[in-house]
């Protein structure tokens, strides 16, 4: 087989972009009364420091830290052998390293010294402790750090991270738009290599390889499921099931480029599918259209949920199993907020979200549909190539 | 471009395999005095419950829990919409669900009820808190859970997880061996599609796509770096640098199949490289051979480190920057233990480790080399196709 790769152009973020992020973060830190924030996750470390590393986030052997004080120079605190990589990718010059692995003191004494030496205004250090965050260090180390810096307090800074990260710059929007375009092209090419009688896994492997050859830097999420009257689930690994005549097939991908994700699916019909599946697809696309039409600064998540639900119900469909009809998107495949019945978060210009209605068919099986949009000053821009109300066709 | 996918046969683990793991885990729990363990990470949840989910580990919106009591039935505690996926993949029948996302109570009250209802012997619940672990739930939720179950105590169970997971069953070894074979074939095929004048990124995209088409289920780690006298780093994202005549190129992959990783690299010469680079490759392969020859039950990490270091130094090379000469491998690309100068952990039959010597060249740049092995009753079996002392050649 001959392999050819296209390398999409991804202009690097200028240093001013990071300065702007830091300034907005510090504004949030003042509101939330934080003397510094401690970042440990890929999304937050990349977002503020620009440190671009593959190894750090694929190995739990060593933690990697970034500290942003309120009014002192930011500091990378990383394992020694990552120094050249840091110097080559981050705008941040102040760097402290230790020889790692060293489980008995994996950077903790360095963090203690830094936090003790901080100018104190509030006596609080923010960390990734709240909803939709995971701490990128062993919790035992976090508890030790918290104890050793008393009376300084480690507190949750999720609200501050969320407030800053959810508003995307034009350069961030461009990256999401580019990976959406790559996935659009990959969905369009899929029928060209589908082979009758192949398994979900075989088809998914080709789709994933195609995404990468078109320029995705990684494709951690390629979900696939197939079935006669709706698929088993919209979010599972492709299985050994042979895709058969009359099936509806969902393919969903969270692929990444330059640190930014797309997240959307397409539904395919293998030959002729049931009337209910076709009606469901049309209802899902109509619900997405209703959501997209309502998406503008000021709209609440609750409104976006009920608008989509009404569009589905007016077509005789019942609400799907996902628990929400879309979510934030950017440095992660799923970010705050959730398009939920009881969520009063408000859309703001610069937010990127997915619109993702889902239904349950009479078989008890789900179907879903997803598009990615960015909120503009007076509405939204759709970043994906909109799906049609008719299913895409795979012919044997 | 025509895409063809090979789907490798991965026999499912029989339920007896999970029963055996649970029995070994409970034995460790008795030693570490734990009434139950709470699992939140992909590696541990998959390992003990068999739950096979793509979405859960690609989204931070919802946590997914598995509770193994010492002498009661194990329990999945997961978001409602994951139930069909759980029933289809896990041997565990007891399942508790909640409608998620629900940030104000993301499964925590369910866990509190479960822990409060446990038969108590030790008053301690083990969790993933220690070295080389990350907690798969928001830390604020963990702290709330810890407070609400008092006087029951949440304690670190890393030693127990490590003790059980580091000994691989024959079926686990077979999965690692299969993904090693796939990566071996991909490394061997690489020269066939290398194009003179292309960038690291273009070559890496083709390599990654090829891995997937050969059957890897994901390739989260494809590191590449190139340069005249050693590469910039052995563990970075491929860059825009054009690979040039006289370069040495490292390609390293942690790819996964059936939930199990390979982790090894190959070094390529573009045409003729410097004498020092060639001597380094020969020294690295000799050091790996020395490590492999010494790897058997009873050998300590410290011994394995010094044997490799001596082999490098006897060839005039100096120690590389990675901080260790290999590590555990299995459900993760890097697991305990580390082959470190001061680590007295002992090899046991069934452990899978990488042997990974590295050097610093006179340019100040590194070179490294890695193989994957499993410890047998009287030595070890090499799971990778051993690299030659001469570099593989990419010709323009």
pLDDT at A80: 96
pLDDT at A322: 86
- For domain A15-165, which CATH number applies: 3.40.350.10, 3.40.50.720, 3.30.930.10, 2.40.110.10? 3.40.350.10
Distance from CA of A341 to the nearest CA of B (A): 11
**What confidence tens digit (pLDDT) does each residue in A91-129 have?**
999 999 999 999 999 999 999 999 999 999 999 999 999
**DSSP assignment string, B310-351:** HHHHTTT-EE-SSSSS-EE-SSSSSEEEE--TT---B--TT-
pLDDT over 90 at A234, yes or no: no
| H-type alpha helices, A214-343 | 275-294, 301-313
Q: What percent of chain A has pLDDT over 90?
A: 97
**What confidence tens digit (pLDDT) does each residue in B203-255 have?**
999 999 999 999 999 999 999 999 999 998 888 999 999 999 999 999 999 99
User: What are the angstrom distances between the C-alpha of A16 and each of A91, A167, B297?
Assistant: 10, 16, 55
A43, A53, A59, A327: best to mutate for the B interface, most B CBs within 10 A = A59
Domain boundaries defined on chain B:
15-165, 170-394
CATH class in words for A170-394: alpha beta
Q: Distance between CA B324 and CA B357 in Å, rounded?
A: 8
**Domain B15-165 matches domain B170-394 at the CATH topology level:** no
Q: Distance between CA A238 and CA B32 in Å, rounded?
A: 38
Q: What percent of chain B has pLDDT over 70?
A: 99
Place of tokens 């942690």: B254
Residues 238-257 in A contacting B (C-alpha not used; CB under 8 Å):
240, 254
Which chain A residue lies closest to B43 (C-alpha atoms)? A60
**What confidence tens digit (pLDDT) does each residue in B279-309 have?**
999 999 999 999 999 999 999 999 999 999 9
pLDDT at B1: 65
pLDDT at B55: 95
State whether residue A58 sits within 8 Å of chain B by CB.
Answer: yes
User: What are the angstrom distances between the C-alpha of A324 and each of A315, A363, B69, B362?
Assistant: 19, 21, 32, 57
Distance from CA of A200 to the nearest CA of B (A): 10
ipTM value for the complex: 0.97
Give the pLDDT mean for B85-108. 97
Q: What percent of chain A has pLDDT over 70?
A: 99
pLDDT at A1: 65
pLDDT over 80 at A396, yes or no: no
Phi-psi map region of B305: left, alpha, beta (phi>0 left; psi -120 to 50 alpha): alpha
Residues of B in contact with A319 (CB under 8 A): none
* Helix-strand-coil split of chain B, %, nearest 5: 35, 25, 40
**What confidence tens digit (pLDDT) does each residue in A260-302 have?**
999 999 999 999 999 999 999 999 999 999 999 999 999 999 9
A65, A78, A105, A138: best to mutate for the B interface, most B CBs within 10 A = A138
Closest Cβ opposite residue B338 in set A61, A88, A133: A61
State whether residue A144 sits within 8 Å of chain B by CB.
Answer: no
Which chain A residue lies closest to B336 (C-alpha atoms)? A61
Q: Distance between CA A130 and CA A24 in Å, rounded?
A: 20
Q: Distance between CA A187 and CA A268 in Å, rounded?
A: 10
Inter-chain residue contact A138 with B142, CB threshold 8 Å: no
pLDDT over 90 at B321, yes or no: no
Distance from CA of A272 to the nearest CA of B (A): 25
Considering the entire predicted model, what is its pTM?
A: 0.97
**For B343, phi and psi rounded to 5 degrees?**
-100, 120
**Least-confidence region, from A230-234, A268-272, B29-33, B178-182:** A230-234
**What confidence tens digit (pLDDT) does each residue in A189-211 have?**
999 999 999 999 999 999 999 99
The whole-chain average pLDDT of chain A stands at: 97
The two structure tokens encoding residue A301: 């998540």
Give the pLDDT mean for A34-59. 97
pLDDT over 70 at B60, yes or no: yes
């Amino acid at each position: 087989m001959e392999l050819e790769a296209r390398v999409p152009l991804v202009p690097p973020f200028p240093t001013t972009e990071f300065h702007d992020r830091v300034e907005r973060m510090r504004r949030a830190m003042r509101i939330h009364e934080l003397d510094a924030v401690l970042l440990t996750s890929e999304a937050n470390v990349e977002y503020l420091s620009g440190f671009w590393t593959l190894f750090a986030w694929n190995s739990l052997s060593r933690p990697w830290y970034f500290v942003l004080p309120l009014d002192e120079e930011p500091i990378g605190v990383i394992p020694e052998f990552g120094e050249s990589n840091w110097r080559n990718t981050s705008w941040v010059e102040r760097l402290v390293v230790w020889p790692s692995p060293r489980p008995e003191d994996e950077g903790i004494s360095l963090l203690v010294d830094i936090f003790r030496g901080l100018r104190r205004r509030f006596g609080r250090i923010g960390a990734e402790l709240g909803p939709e965050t995971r701490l990128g260090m062993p919790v035992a180390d976090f508890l030790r750090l918290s104890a050793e810096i008393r009376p300084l307090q480690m507190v949750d800074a999720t609200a501050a991270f969320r407030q800053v990260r959810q508003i995307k710059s034009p350069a961030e929007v461009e990256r999401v738009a580019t990976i959406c375009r790559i996935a659009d092209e990959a969905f369009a090419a899929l029928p060209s290599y589908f082979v009758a009688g192949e398994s979900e896994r075989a088809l998914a492997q080709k789709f994933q390889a195609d995404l990468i050859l078109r320029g995705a830097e990684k494709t951690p999420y390629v979900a696939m499921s197939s079935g006669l009257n709706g698929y088993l689930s919209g979010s599972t690994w492709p299985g050994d099931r042979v895709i058969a005549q009359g099936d509806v097939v969902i393919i969903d991908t969270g692929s990444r480029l330059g640190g930014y994700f797309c997240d959307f699916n397409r539904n395919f019909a293998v030959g002729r599918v049931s009337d209910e599946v076709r009606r469901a697809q049309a209802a899902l696309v109509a619900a997405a259209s209703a959501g997209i039409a309502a998406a503008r600064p000021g709209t609440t998540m609750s409104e976006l949920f009920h608008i989509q639900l009404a569009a589905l119900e007016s077509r005789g469909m019942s609400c799907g199993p996902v628990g929400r009809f879309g979510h934030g998107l950017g440095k992660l495949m799923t970010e705050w907020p959730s398009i939920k019945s009881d969520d009063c978060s408000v859309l703001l210009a610069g937010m990127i979200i997915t619109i993702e209605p889902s239904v349950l068919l009479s078989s008890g099986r789900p179907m879903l549909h997803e598009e990615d949009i960015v909120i503009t000053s007076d509405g939204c821009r759709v970043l994906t190539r909109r799906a049609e109300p008719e299913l895409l066709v795979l012919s044997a």
